[in-house]
Amino acid sequence: MKTIKLFALMIASAGMIFTSCQKDSSEVLTASGNNSFGVQLQAVNSTYSFSPGTRAVSAGTLKFDTCQMYVSSVHLTATKEVSDSLSTESSSFTVELKYKGSKLVDLFNTNSLLGDTQIQQGVYDKIKIMIRSNKKDAGTSPVFYLSGKYTNASGAATPIALVVNEGLDLTLTAKDSVVINSADDYIALFQLDLSNYMYNSKITIDDLDKATLTNGKIIISEDSNAKLYDKIYKRVSLLNMIKHASFKKVNKRG
């Protein structure tokens, strides 16, 4: 894909289904809560510094200024612990929140959400989020796009872009539980550490200095600099670079 089109971010509407997981029976309840629960994916640590090579006096750097991903759907599951006043045991409910509607997400925008929905108060754990990015929803644009500038050891700067045109399926797990109360709305924040991503790819200054330029730019894709694409994208799982950072409290909306 050679042409990058930017689209406005849209927040998809969401539905919520509560399914009981008690001993011998299951019950489906349709309900809404008074709290908003959102999902956010954010790119952090946008600068990566290479270690100086044997011939280099100073290290080169990669500095990214654009990180975007098309999102086709988000499926969130969690377990809500419920205490029964007539029993000393606790039962659990599985919550499934589904967001659908293709959108382009700016991962450098600290206010962007993949989606949000209403949720009931309670304690939620075993939170898992499945993100799907379909190529057909991206159209002629990349599914995942990361760009910036590569500055070599001599100080010369060259534009660079990683272009992914393959569909993505990411399953993310929260590291802890969250207590939803009446005072706040919440966001589950996941972060993609770009510096750590580049470090784990084992990309080197020599790799980039020898890269083929397209109109003065290093394009890393299936069709351009394929060996670099294999090193950066194929060998390093994007999924493994995304970690749950926190549950953020935000001011109640509406």
Q: Is 171 within the bounds of a domain?
A: yes
Q: State the 10-residue block means of pLDDT for the chain, 254 residues long.
A: 35 34 29 72 94 62 96 86 57 63 89 82 87 91 96 94 93 88 85 92 92 97 94 76 88 59
Specify the pLDDT at position 116. Answer: 79
For 33, the 3-state DSSP assignment is: coil
Question: Of 207, 60, 188, 192, which is closest to residue 119 (Cα–Cα)?
Answer: 188
For 126, the 3-state DSSP assignment is: strand
User: Which region, left, alpha or beta, applies to residue 75 given φ > 0 means left and ψ of -120 to 50 means alpha?
Assistant: beta
Q: Is 66 within the bounds of a domain?
A: yes
**Segments of the chain assigned E as strands:** 14-20, 28-30, 35-44, 47-49, 61-83, 90-106, 115-119, 122-133, 144-151, 157-164, 168-173, 178-180, 185-193, 213-214, 217-220, 242-250
pLDDT in tens, 190-215: 999 999 999 988 899 999 999 999 99
Specify the pLDDT at position 252. Answer: 61
Structural domains in the chain (count): 1
- Count CB neighbours of 188 within 10 A: 24
pTM: 0.78
Q: Is 164 within the bounds of a domain?
A: yes
Can you spell out the DSSP letters for 69-114? EEEEEEEEEEEEEEE-TT-SSEEEEEEEEEEEEEEEEETT-TT--S
Q: Is 95 within the bounds of a domain?
A: yes
Question: Of 126, 127, 146, 123, which is closest to residue 236 (Cα–Cα)?
Answer: 146
Q: Is 100 within the bounds of a domain?
A: yes
For 201, the 3-state DSSP assignment is: helix
Specify the pLDDT at position 253. Answer: 56
Specify the pLDDT at position 80. Answer: 82
Distance CA(38)–CA(23), nearest Å, equals 30
Q: Is 67 within the bounds of a domain?
A: yes
CB-based burial label for 92 (10 Å; 0-12, 13-18, 19+)? middle
List, in sequence order, the alpha helices (H) in 113-204: 135-138, 194-201
Q: Is 223 within the bounds of a domain?
A: yes
User: Using only C-alpha atoms, what is the Rg of the chain?
Assistant: 21
Specify the pLDDT at position 13. Answer: 32
Question: Of 55, 201, 41, which is closest to residue 105 (Cα–Cα)?
Answer: 41
- Domain range for residue 241? 15-250
> Distances from the Cα of 75 to the Cαs of 35, 97, 114, 187, in angstroms?
18, 6, 11, 15
Q: Is 1 within the bounds of a domain?
A: no
pLDDT in tens, 45-70: 999 998 765 454 567 999 999 999 99
Specify the pLDDT at position 96. Answer: 65
**Amino acid type, 18:** F
